[in-house]
Amino acid sequence: MNENIELVQQAYGYFGSGNIDGLIGLLTEDVKWTIPEVEGSPMDAVTNGRENVREFFGTLASTEEFSAFEPREFIADGNKVVVLGHSAGKVIETGRTFSSDWVQVFTVENGKISVFHEFFDNAEVARAYQKAETA
């Protein structure tokens, strides 16, 4: 198996088991972490640096609960790994659910993840962040 795919799979394993310290250890010091902007979400669309990514995961854990997180297909080309997957869950504050397929693109440099870029249905997730309207 491709060593970059193995690294990304290790990162997913750490995420799935809640070992954020292990995941952070797989990142370069100056990692760039990018997700789609989601209206209502407290998470920044672009996060730079390992310690800021650690804070990102803390915010994620306190705002969203996942019922499914499924990396399904791994594609490697040079120092890039593209992963196709699906996730579902709910926003803790609103109780509203979301479900979306996603694409995550990793760049690996010297055996560490230096760039992460995720694409998902941000409108779907934004709906889950919306609070119920009062009459």
pLDDT tens digits for 6-36?
999 999 999 999 999 999 999 999 999 999 9
**What pLDDT score does 134 carry?**
53
Backbone angles phi, psi at 88, to 5 degrees: -145, 150
Percentage of the chain surpassing pLDDT 70? 98
Query: Could you give the C-alpha distances from 60 to 3, 4, 63, 92, in angstroms and in order?
Result: 28, 25, 5, 10
Q: What is the pTM of this model?
A: 0.92
Domain edges within the chain = 3-129
The domain 3-129: what is its CATH number? 3.10.450.50
